[in-house]
């Protein structure tokens, strides 16, 4: 039975990337690359490198665990298990010159590469869903809200275009971070390369070329943790965007707003006691999990400042935060794609909310029209502000208040004033902005 919800409830394909068996496989890949590099440089027989590569395929995770239980060192347990599978003369060359974190940190880069490949794939899929919504609703007029109050009209297309552009930036961040994240090391106990001899740089280059990684230009015993913190920072930014979208859905699904709602299955239950409830629980879940990903980032930041050439305080926490952050972010991306793919819209409520304030949301437009007709901007602002206060106090439509105001009727004919209150004609360039964002312009 699983203890952590990321093992079952929030499980995705990402779990296999961080599974113990895959971590072991990546460690072995680095050991193979190291042996090949030694062989190319003439440090060890080519047959020894071939034997090590063949033996790596025979190493069992169960045997590694058995050895670890005896020696209390997971990496060295792998080394011993690999050595066991080699002919004696070849096994003598396993892990030659390396320290544990030459293997572990280089393997972590391989794991990050696979993990971000999956994140990128699912972020692209979500972006396509968002772009489709932006295109479909490019002219779906709704009320814009600032400070929780009705502002001026906008469109749902513009809302989704905003998210599309944000996902574009996250994909750019992943791409940009590759040169800092996909790096390995083969530099020994404190980063001096002393165990690798005169051709240490060449050996490191050969190992990294085999693994398609870049060599870290300088390390101590470990690759510096600002790189790993950057990985979790990118994940945190993605999580925050998903939270932003989820929070918007939650607010728009409120009973008194009711403009959109996340999908609700025919047999789905919203509450154990209130049969009528249709709760945005998936969006709420995303908001909750985003907090965990952000919290993991704090741990990654604290791991940067290790003592001297390194201490072990980063190790235990990284066993938690790396897998947890990637798995939860991947889960949230998939969940959000499902939510948006089946998002329900309620046009009557959208229209109702547009007209809720008796025309007050068009006050800005009237002020601009008065200015264009010759009134000073500050005078026009004061006039419309006073009319808006009267409209709010009396419940009278702002149009009716303004048409009785002498200074307004003098500058704007009643027919034109009436046209100014057509919300669908005051969305500016929103459709075009959405189109440009969809194209990535």
Boundaries of domain holding 132: 124-260+280-352+428-441
Are 344 and 226 members of one domain? yes
Contact of 203 with 186, CB cutoff 8 Å? yes
4 is an active site residue: no
Q: Active-site residue among 4, 21, 271, 418?
A: 271
DSSP single-letter state for residue 195: G
> Dmax of the chain from CA atoms?
103
**Average predicted confidence (pLDDT) for the chain:** 95
pLDDT over 90, % of the chain = 93
Asked if residue 45 is part of any domain, the answer here is: yes
What are the pLDDT digits (tens) for 344-380?
A: 999 999 999 999 999 999 999 999 999 999 999 999 9
What are the pLDDT digits (tens) for 152-204?
A: 999 999 999 999 999 999 999 999 999 999 999 999 999 999 999 999 999 99
Asked if residue 3 is part of any domain, the answer here is: no
Are 84 and 176 members of one domain? no
What are the pLDDT digits (tens) for 44-83?
A: 999 999 999 999 999 999 999 999 999 999 999 999 999 9
Strand runs (DSSP E) across 24-168, as ranges? 141-146, 149-155
pLDDT on residue 276: 73
Are 335 and 214 members of one domain? yes
Are 87 and 129 members of one domain? no
Are 25 and 168 members of one domain? no
Are 211 and 245 members of one domain? yes
Question: Which residues touch 144 (CB under 8 Å, ≥6 apart)?
Answer: 150, 151, 152, 153, 154
Are 157 and 42 members of one domain? no
Count how many domains the chain has. Answer: 3
Contact of 262 with 339, CB cutoff 8 Å? yes
Work out the pLDDT band at 397, boundaries 50, 70, 90.
Answer: very high
Check pLDDT > 60 for residue 441.
no
**Per-residue DSSP letters for 272-328?**
SS-TT----HHHHHHHHHHHHHHHHHHHHHHTT--STT--SHHHHHHHHHHHHHHHH
Are 160 and 291 members of one domain? yes
pTM of the model: 0.94
What are the pLDDT digits (tens) for 404-436?
A: 988 998 999 999 999 999 999 999 999 999 999
Burial class (CB within 10 angstroms; exposed 0-12, middle 13-18, buried 19+) of 173: middle
Q: What's the angle, vertex CA 336, arms to CA 335 and CA 342, rounded to 5?
A: 95
283 is an active site residue: no
Q: Return d(Cα 371, Cα 399) in angstroms, integer.
A: 17
Asked if residue 6 is part of any domain, the answer here is: no
Question: Which residues touch 319 (CB under 8 Å, ≥6 apart)?
Answer: none
Bridge partners of 154, per DSSP, are 142
């Amino acid at each position: 039975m699983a203890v952590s919800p990321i093992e079952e409830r929030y499980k995705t394909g990402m779990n296999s990337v961080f599974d113990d068996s895959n971590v072991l496989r990546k460690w072995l890949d680095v050991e193979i690359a190291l042996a090949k590099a030694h062989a190319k440089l003439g440090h060890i027989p080519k047959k020894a490198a071939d034997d090590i590569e063949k033996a790596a395929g025979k190493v069992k995770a169960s045997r590694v665990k058995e050895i670890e239980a005896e020696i209390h060192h997971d990496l060295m347990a792998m080394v011993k298990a690999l050595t066991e599978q080699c002919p004696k003369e070849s096994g003598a060359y396993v892990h030659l010159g390396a320290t544990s974190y030459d293997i572990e940190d280089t393997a972590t880069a391989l794991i990050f590469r696979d993990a971000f490949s999956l994140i990128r794939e699912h972020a692209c899929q979500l972006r396509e869903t968002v772009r489709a919504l932006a295109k479909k609703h490019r002219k779906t007029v709704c009320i814009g809200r600032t400070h929780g109050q009705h502002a001026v009209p906008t469109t749902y297309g513009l809302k989704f275009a905003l998210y599309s552009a944000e996902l574009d930036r996250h994909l750019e961040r992943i791409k940009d971070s590759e040169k800092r994240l996909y790096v390995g090391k083969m530099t020994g106990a404190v980063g001096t390369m002393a165990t690798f001899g005169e051709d240490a740089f060449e050996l490191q280059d050969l190992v990294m070329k085999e693994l398609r990684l870049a060599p870290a230009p300088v390390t101590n015993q470990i690759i510096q943790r600002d790189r790993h913190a950057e990985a979790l920072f990118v994940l945190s930014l993605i999580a925050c965007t998903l939270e932003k979208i989820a929070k918007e859905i939650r607010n728009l699904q409120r009973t008194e707003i009711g403009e959109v709602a996340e999908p609700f299955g025919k047999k789905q239950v919203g509450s154990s006691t209130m049969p009528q409830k249709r709760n945005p629980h998936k969006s709420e879940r995303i908001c909750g999990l985003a907090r965990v990903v952000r919290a993991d980032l704090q741990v990654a930041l604290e791991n940067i400042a290790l003592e001297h050439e390194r201490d072990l305080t980063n190790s235990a926490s990284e066993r938690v935060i790396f897998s947890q952050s990637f798995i939860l972010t991947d889960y949230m991306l998939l969940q959000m794609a499902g939510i948006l793919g089946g998002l329900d819209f309620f046009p009557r409520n959208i229209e109702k909310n547009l007209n809720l304030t008796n025309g007050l949301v068009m006050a800005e437009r009237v002020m601009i029209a008065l200015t264009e007709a010759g009134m000073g901007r500050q005078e026009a602002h004061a006039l419309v502000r006073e009319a808006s206060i009267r409209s709010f106090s009396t419940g009278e439509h702002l149009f009716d208040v303004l048409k009785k105001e002498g200074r307004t009727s003098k500058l704007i004919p009643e027919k034109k004033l009436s046209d100014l209150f057509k919300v669908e004609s005051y969305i500016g360039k929103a459709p075009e902005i959405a189109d440009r964002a969809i194209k990535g312009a």
